[in-house]
Structure 1
Amino acid sequence: MSSPADELGYGSIRLDRTGQAEAFDAIGDRYDEAFPHKEGQIAAAEWLIKSLPADSRVLDLGCGSGLPTARQVVEAGSQVVGVDLSAGMVALARQNVPAGDFRRADIADLRPGGPLDLGRFEAVTAFFSLLMLPRAEIPLALRTIHHLLLPGGLFALSMVEADVDDFSIPFIGNTIRVSGYLRDELREVVEAAGFEIAEESSFTYAPATADVPPEVQIFLRCRRQD
């Protein structure tokens, strides 16, 4: 009999995170210095927070330093659980948002039948975290997020628009591997995972560091369909 994880497709994939967490451990709080303006992310989190009942549970996937999203959630009176692969980022998040619950984990750990059961959530955010996965894994991650949400739950997602798969790039003095989609394909992948896209916005963003080129950031505000 197949396991829930096998049904999602994880059973046939070898997870390769080589160097990804180590890069963000080295980057640390320089990430927030390189990306000082996060209007799109702040606005997407505000939409989510305003749509939630008081004291909701929110999962912040790829929480980074906890800024700004986890802090926004806590300041709004809801509970936040943050997950990140980088131990350094988790340590920063615990300092920046003491009221949050932060764990070092991989999104694949949260899949049905996986090693980490965090329960269900009224909302999930994934700001620039799924782009750290190979394309083959992104639909699986989206199905995992669908599983983690309560019926009708909200999902705020951001990606950089790019037609790349597990592509190595220089990033704040380190090297990371990233994936992306052109926006029409991104919509298709998200909808195929069981989400209704309520709103979409995009921003052209120039990071405050020379080794990260300008990028187009896409923000999707979604609701779980049952």
Structure 2
Amino acid sequence: MASDSEAALRAYRRETQAAAFDCIGERYDEAFPHKDGQIEAGRWLAARLEPGAGVLDAGCGTGEPTARQLAEAGTRVLGIDISPVMLALARENVPEAEFREMDITDLGPGLGEFDAVVAFFSLLMLPRAQIPGALAGLHRVLRNGGLLALGMVEADVDDVPIPFLGVSVHVSGFFLEDLRRLAVRTGFEILEEHSRKYAPSSQQALPEIQQFLYCRKMP
């Protein structure tokens, strides 16, 4: 159980990260206009889901492109994010989906059970110590055999502040083999993995190597 000081630090960190993305707002999609890796992962999921399947978009941002792509494929999308500004944009961009203000580390049984989960670069925003628990939360809300599409940035860093579109955010990352090992240890079978070099259109964001794991929940 976390101490009062640990809980206060976690709450403060969540507030500062949320405030940073509130400031970024619509500039995020302008800086990252070609999300080919996310679109490919969304296409992979949509091809394996029945109409009406429930999908959790954990760290949905503005809803573009993933929540929109999966809603248009006929799934029931619930998007969660810690940024009220991002959520307002998502509700405008994808009115057919549902969106809630929620931290990815707070997933519990009350949220329901999903056929698939997507988490594109949301675990990136957590300290490494919190990532295994957040990944376990994604595992808990998936039905047995449910699918996870996970996106991270390859980097050997832990809770490092970086300048990002004019604000400071803290990020963590892993080498691919470490991310793969963490996913398997959490109870996922890795079905496919892909890496992409990505260069944002804004000079206020650094080039990166994006990692995508397509997984299935094991019993």
So what's the TM-score if we normalise by structure 1?
A: 0.92
- In the TM superposition, 1:165-180 aligns within 5 A as 165-180=158-173
What SS does structure 2 have at the residue aligned with 1:25? helix
Distance in 1 separating the partners of 2:104 and 2:121: 13
Which position in structure 2 is the counterpart of 1:63? 60
Which position in structure 2 is the counterpart of 1:87? 84
Cα deviation, 1:80-113, whole Å, max 9, x if unaligned, reads 000000000000000000011000111122135x
**What is the aligned-residue identity percentage?**
56
Which position in structure 2 is the counterpart of 1:45? 42
Superposition misfits of 4+ residues, deviation over 4 angstroms: none
Which position in structure 1 is the counterpart of 2:128? 135
Distance in 1 separating the partners of 2:129 and 2:114: 25
What SS does structure 1 have at the residue aligned with 2:134? helix
Deviation at 1:119, TM superposition (A): 0.4
Deviation at 1:18, TM superposition (A): 4.2
Which position in structure 1 is the counterpart of 2:200? 207
Which position in structure 2 is the counterpart of 1:190? 183
Distance in 2 separating the partners of 1:86 and 1:17: 10
Match of 2:14 among 10, 17, 20: 17
Distance in 1 separating the partners of 2:15 and 2:111: 25
* Deviation larger for 207-216 or 11-20: 11-20
Distance in 1 separating the partners of 2:192 and 2:106: 29
Which position in structure 2 is the counterpart of 1:219? 212
Code of the aligned partner of 1:187: R
Distance in 2 separating the partners of 1:53 and 1:205: 31
CA RMSD of aligned residues (A): 1.1
- In the TM superposition, 1:96-175 aligns within 5 A as 96-112=93-109, 117-175=110-168
Distance in 1 separating the partners of 2:176 and 2:70: 27
So what's the TM-score if we normalise by structure 2?
A: 0.94
Cα deviation, 1:133-162, whole Å, max 9, x if unaligned, reads 000010001110010000100000000000
What SS does structure 1 have at the residue aligned with 2:47? helix
- For structure 1, the residue ranges without an aligned partner over 5 or more in a row are 1-5
Relative to 1, partners in 2 of residues 1:146 and 1:158: Cα closer, same or farther, differing over 3 Å?
same
Deviation at 1:130, TM superposition (A): 0.4
